[in-house]
Structure formats: structure tokens, C-alpha cells
């Protein structure tokens, strides 16, 4: 469960988020809609422990983002609006790297990587360098790195941005799976 209680985030005098309150129960799939600059990405960064609130409280499964960020980071998979990809790395190599950052063992990665690549439709491009892939495939690699460790919570910031209509349908199906 996610609880956001009267959260505000200021940059100087500018409020990116002001007095935000919401709850998300286990199993719910939630999206944020709003104009550019409305605070959607800031809210996702607060949930991902990449930013701390100026005021208020955020808890995920009872862990506080300010007091226990390491516990929360173990629970989440995060895809920012610009996926953190290394264009010179091969797809499988990058996903193995992402798994190691999540402290997965070689044995865990050996079992998990084929499943993640199948889920995200990356088997055919596993040996290609990321920089040679289309934008749609790069988004798939971004999602794969976010789910490689089987997180309890998946946070995606604009996962369909820049995709064509066919890729959007595929990405939505992937997210639902």
C-alpha cells in the first residue's frame, strides 16, 4: 500500500507538488494525468525515493521514504521518462548489469533473464547493442531493467512517449502483463 499524506515539494519558492493526498492499495494500477509541469514526474520521483518531500509523508508498505529509502528501493522498479540506458551495451549484458545493481546472484539472473526478455519481447535482439535499437525496443529494454528483480511495485514515467500507435498497443499489453 502507498500512502501519500499532505506531501509538498518546493524548489525554492516554486511548488512542484502542493498538499498531495492519496492512497493506492495493493494490486491497483494507477495513472497520473495532467498538464506539463503539473507535478506528475515529481510525484513519481518522490515515490521512487529519488526526491524527498519538503513537507508531508510518503510510505510504501509501511516504510517511510525519508527514514527507510533502501527498503523501498528493494520493492520498486522504476522507469523514468528517459530510460537510463547505455547505448554501447548489448541488451542482455545491460539487463545482467541492471540485475547485479539490484544485488541479484548469477544463479538468479540465469533463471530470470530469459523470462524477462520473453515478457518484453527482447529475445530476438538480446545480442544487439542498445544504441542500434528503435525507440520502441529501447522502451522495452527500459521496462525490462525495471522488472528484472520482480519488484512489488512498478513506477513508469511516460512509458509510451514517442511510440507509434502499434507500439503503444504493445507497450500497454506489456505493462498489463
With respect to residue 100, please indicate whether it lies within any of the assigned structural domains.
yes
Count of H helices and E strands in the chain?
Answer: 6, 6
CATH code, domain carrying 11? 3.40.50.300
Q: What stretch of H or E contains 15?
A: strand 14-24
If one counts the domains in the chain, the total is 2
- The x, y and z cell numbers of residue 26, run together, are 495493493
Are 47 and 88 in a shared domain?
no
Query: pTM (2 decimals)?
Result: 0.88
Nearest to 91 by CA among 114, 62, 65: 114
Query: pLDDT exceeding 70 applies to what percent of the chain?
Result: 100
The string of pLDDT tens digits covering residues 31-78 is 999 998 899 999 999 999 999 999 999 999 999 999 999 999 999 999
Radius of gyration of the chain (CA): 17
121 and 175 Cβ atoms separated by less than 8 Å: no
Q: Which of 37-41, 87-91, 132-136, 137-141 has the highest mean pLDDT?
A: 87-91
| Average of per-residue pLDDT across 79-105 | 95
Q: Rounded distance, CA 26 to CA 90, Å? A: 35
Is 175 found in the same domain as 94?
A: yes
Structural domain range at position 109: 77-177
Write the CA distances from 64 to 42, 60, 131, integer angstroms.
17, 7, 37
Q: Indicate if 16 and 49 belong to the same structural domain.
A: yes
Amino acid at each position: 500500500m502507498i500512502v501519500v499524506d499532505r506531501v509538498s515539494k518546493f524548489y525554492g519558492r516554486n511548488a512542484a507538488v502542493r498538499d498531495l493526498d492519496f492512497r493506492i492499495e495493493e494490486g491497483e494500477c494507477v495513472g497520473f494525468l495532467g498538464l506539463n509541469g503539473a507535478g506528475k514526474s515529481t510525484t513519481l520521483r518522490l515515490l521512487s525515493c529519488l526526491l524527498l518531500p519538503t513537507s508531508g509523508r510518503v510510505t510504501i508498505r509501511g516504510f517511510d521514504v525519508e527514514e527507510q529509502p533502501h527498503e523501498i528501493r528493494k520493492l520498486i522498479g522504476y522507469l523514468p521518462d528517459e530510460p537510463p540506458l547505455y547505448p554501447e551495451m548489448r541488451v542482455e549484458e545491460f539487463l545482467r548489469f541492471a540485475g547485479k545493481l539490484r544485488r541479484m546472484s548469477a544463479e538468479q539472473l540465469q533463471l530470470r533473464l530469459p523470462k524477462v526478455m520473453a515478457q518484453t519481447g527482447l529475445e530476438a535482439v538480446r545480442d544487439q547493442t542498445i544504441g542500434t535499437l528503435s525507440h520502441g525496443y529501447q522502451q522495452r529494454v527500459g521496462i525490462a531493467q525495471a522488472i528484472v528483480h520482480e519488484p512489488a511495485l512498478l513506477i513508469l514515467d511516460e512509458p509510451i512517449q514517442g511510440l507509434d500507435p502499434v507500439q503503444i498497443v504493445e507497450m500497454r499489453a506489456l505493462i498489463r502483463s
